[in-house]
Amino acid sequence: MSRDLQGGKEYGILKAQQEERLDSINKEYLDDPKYCNEEDLAEKLEAYKKKYMDFDLNDKGDIDIMGLKRMLEKLGVPKTHLELKKMISEVTGGFGETISYKDFICMMLGKKSAILKLILMFEDKGKEPEKPTGPPPKKGIADLP
């Protein structure tokens, strides 16, 4: 039983170290004058970091083809092996077989509309809006049309 706990602790340490690395990369973007006019940059980077960490399955700091496959399947947009390779090539500029965090951030903040970026941007649009719960709010005469 203690062995299971040790693995969990080690995984937690590994994830904490990964988050530190990604936070330091985020800081580079926050300090970069090129991105100073980007609206809500800190919030965007934090959201991108969380998304990236969810799909970095090999915990090596990059998303490989299996991580990308799982990401797209979870989003309900499964792709073939060839399509996945093409997406990685598009994000990395053809210079790698994995997507580094910097590649990922450049894609998300860049002007180029990579297929992966479009899928990630519209994933929330497909979710049903939350319905209010409880009794409807009371309205006064001023609220009438």
131 is a domain residue = no
75 is a domain residue = yes
Give me the pLDDT at residue 5, please: 47
Helical pair 115-122 and 101-109, crossing angle rounded to 10 deg: 70
Give me the pLDDT at residue 123, please: 65
Helical pair 81-92 and 115-122, crossing angle rounded to 10 deg: 100
60 is a domain residue = yes
Give me the pLDDT at residue 127, please: 53
49 is a domain residue = yes
Distances (CA, A) of 96 to 14, 108, 123: 24, 18, 25
What's the pTM?
A: 0.68
Q: How many domains does the chain have?
A: 1
**CB of 96 closer than 8 Å to CB of 104:** no
Torsion of CA 43, 48, 49, 53, to 10 degrees: 150
pLDDT in tens, the chain (145 residues): 444 445 677 777 877 888 888 999 999 989 988 887 888 889 989 988 888 888 776 667 788 888 888 888 887 888 899 988 988 888 888 888 888 888 888 888 877 666 777 677 666 555 555 666 667 777 777 776 6
- Can you tell me the distance from the alpha carbon of 128 to that of 130, in angstroms, rounded to the nearest whole number? 6
100 is a domain residue = yes
55 is a domain residue = yes
136 is a domain residue = no
69 is a domain residue = yes
CATH number at residue 77: 1.10.238.10
Give the range of the structural domain holding residue 50, as residue numbers without chain letter.
Answer: 2-122
